[in-house]
Structure 1
């Protein structure tokens, strides 16, 4: 009689605070129990096998978890494997790519019965961050996928924007070249005004000011523009107004644009 098969482990999608890399040097981050629900912290503390966007930031997150909920294994004993570098630069949502085979290999501990966590540097993994290939592979292998509760900057920004929250699209980054960027922003504006669909985009923090200037220069004066900066941080700030109001009221000066930001276009 053959031995029963080892039950598969589960894959937990573990959200992390939005403050990664955004807390000024010398300041202490907010206590984790103020940022994540207790159940999320309990599950994170119970895991010993991880797939991470960045191992260093994953360890920093686990160190903060340990201050609230004792880790099941010491930090040095945690098994943390990073997603391939190409997933960071080009994303990993290409079903026909070699990334799917790599993702399946990353899930080998779950096939051996270990529960696993998937984390990104900030927020919810696989949303505006790599990780979708791992989730897709888990479904293909019959591994249960469980998303845990935590912050998602795109949804927080949309809720705070006053823009259409029942029809929206996340479009990621726009081109850096000024002419291409202007053309792309006008295309997104046209779609938003024609259909009512809110367009959500992001940028690397050091280019936030340039993008906001381009938005004000490229969009129609009566298009609504919202910008949410530093979500989840003490300095968080959201402004939403027509483009002509952004200019006349100098709203840009009120935003901490050096912090991570989400930009929204609509009507």
Structure 2
């Protein structure tokens, strides 16, 4: 009787949160070691993924890399095929465009399929803007919720913000959310209009970058000193104590 070949593993490979700075300052050696023995990758953008691999391990031969692109245009019917190398005994690396794959990232769908197929998932340590913002906010690290993107329509967005404010007070639960970077200034404007003056707001922008800004103040205090957040990756956290 033929014994089935062992399956490869799916490695979740964090990447830096921005382009500036030395990758070795924010990434452990375990990621470099993983890149050394992995040739198959699932990535959001092939160009930036190759640039990252070259930066972290210059000796890696680029022609040996086999990259599958997973983004908002990828059909769900294609997802399962990305893990075929694992079924053939080869290891696969999953990378996000920034931070940790599978968290606020389309890679979560691939991880789900890996579990269904009995493929071992190996998460490696790296920067998460969500956790780093929470760590530095001074808010409730015992109970918090990440809500992703808010509704686009202004009325629905304002209602969502007021609901988060109420949840934070009723449950003592900090509420995190994000916006597309080029809309951040408009988002901040909406936040300051919707929330009560005494509600606390943490703005965490450009985490790990030279321009990093992480401050927690009341809404009333922020109205006196409004930062420019245009095109700056940002996490917003609100809590009404």
Short-chain TM bin:
over 0.9
Q: List runs of 5+ in structure 2 lacking aligned partners.
A: none
Aligned partners of 1:56, 1:129: CA distance in 2, in Å? Answer: 18
Q: List runs of 5+ in structure 1 lacking aligned partners.
A: 21-28, 88-97
C-alpha displacement at 1:170, in angstroms?
0.6
Aligned partners of 2:46, 2:229: CA distance in 1, in Å? Answer: 28
Is residue 227 from structure 1 mapped to residue 214 from structure 2 by the alignment?
Answer: no
Aligned partners of 1:205, 1:134: CA distance in 2, in Å? Answer: 26
TM-score (norm 2): 0.94
Indicate which of 30, 33, 37 corresponds to 1:46: 37
Indicate the SS of the match to 1:85: coil
Mapping for residues 151-190 of structure 1, pairs under 5 Å? 151-190=127-166
Whether the 8 Å contact between 2:185 and 2:229 is mirrored in structure 1 is no
C-alpha displacement at 1:258, in angstroms?
3.0
C-alpha displacement at 1:49, in angstroms?
0.3
Whether the 8 Å contact between 1:118 and 1:131 is mirrored in structure 2 is yes
Mapping for residues 28-39 of structure 1, pairs under 5 Å? 29-39=20-30
C-alpha displacement at 1:36, in angstroms?
0.4
Mapping for residues 1-267 of structure 1, pairs under 5 Å? 2-20=1-19, 29-67=20-58, 70-71=59-60, 74-83=61-70, 85-86=72-73, 99=76, 101-248=77-224, 250=225, 252-253=226-227, 256-266=229-239, 267=241
C-alpha displacement at 1:85, in angstroms?
3.3
Whether the 8 Å contact between 1:182 and 1:214 is mirrored in structure 2 is yes
Indicate the SS of the match to 2:236: strand
1:218-265 alpha-carbon deviations (Å, 9 max, x no partner): 0011111001000011111111011111123x1x23x55431000001
Indicate the SS of the match to 1:138: helix
How many residue pairs match? The answer is: 240
Aligned partners of 1:173, 1:125: CA distance in 2, in Å? Answer: 17
Whether the 8 Å contact between 1:235 and 1:256 is mirrored in structure 2 is no
Per the alignment, residue 90 of structure 1 pairs with none
Whether the 8 Å contact between 2:35 and 2:57 is mirrored in structure 1 is no
Aligned partners of 1:80, 1:238: CA distance in 2, in Å? Answer: 35
Indicate the SS of the match to 2:217: strand
Aligned partners of 2:151, 2:184: CA distance in 1, in Å? Answer: 13
Aligned partners of 2:170, 2:154: CA distance in 1, in Å? Answer: 24
Q: Please list every run of at least 4 consecutive aligned residues from structure 1 whose deviation after the TM superposition is greater than 6 angstroms.
A: none
C-alpha displacement at 1:5, in angstroms?
1.6
What is the CA RMSD across the aligned residues, in angstroms?
1.6
